[in-house]
Structure 1
């Protein structure tokens, strides 16, 4: 029997992505595999916040999948699930503006999520 209790993780999001999550149209969140994110697991909750505000949105993690790089992640998850308002190439460029190559080299996490009801 497992003793794991679902946890709540606090993560910041840019407004444009926060709005997509809050609307339920962004179902995959992309992060690099920082040590503090290595224990994200299905059943946990993420409390997204727009940095510097009190605005939050809660999602339940359905699964976490690790990829070698952003291209493999977009191919595996479907770019429309990551950002339904941008093309695959636009998304790749935007993600790499946030995470430079040395961060991408840590590994890429695709977090499948669903709005908390």
Structure 2
């Protein structure tokens, strides 16, 4: 028997990125390949939370792609999908400010997301 319920992961997100996700403008979330994300897969739900608040938004994982580093990820996924408001070089600087070199060395995950359907099957409006 298989479980038909999607797994829900809770992840923190900075306000500027949360707003882009909630608006549907950010379709790729960047994360380090931490062990707790190793089994993240299409169909999972991510509940993003702004740290220290009750604000959340849920997205569905469409695809997870591994890259050796953030430069390869930006080149492979396209910077506009990650943050349509800044340049590739600025994004690389911003990502590396969050994740130091020893974290980047673990590998990078490009998590393709879409707004999660609500319980009635419709896409949520944020």
- TM-score tier (shorter): over 0.9
- Mapped to 1, the partners of 2:50 and 2:95 lie a distance apart of 17
Counterpart position of 1:83: 83
Distance 1:70 1:4, change over 3 A: farther
Long gaps (5+) in structure 2: 117-122
Provide the residue aligned with 2:53 in structure 1: 53
Q: Which residue of 1 aligns with 2:112?
A: 112
Work out whether 1:30 is the aligned partner of 2:30.
yes
CA distance in 1, matches of 2:36, 2:114: 21
TM-score of the aligned structures, taking structure 2 as reference length:
0.89
TM-superposition CA deviations, 1:60-107 (whole Å, max 9, x none)? 000000000000000000000000000000000000000000000001
C-alpha deviations, 1:10-66, integer Å up to 9, x for none?
Answer: 000000000000000000000000000111100000000000000000000000000
Partner residue of 1:14?
14
Pick the structure with greater CA Rg: 2
Q: CA deviation at 1:6?
A: 2.0
Gaps of 5+ in 1: none
Instruction: Give the number of equivalent residue pairs.
Output: 117
**SS of match in other structure, 1:110:** strand
Structure 2: distance between partners of 1:12 and 1:76: 24
Residue in structure 2 matched with residue 96 of structure 1 by the alignment: 96
Shift of 1:8: 0.2
**Aligned-pair CA distance for 1:4:** 6.9
Q: What value does the CA root-mean-square deviation take over the aligned residues?
A: 1.3
SS of alignment partner, residue 90 of structure 1: helix
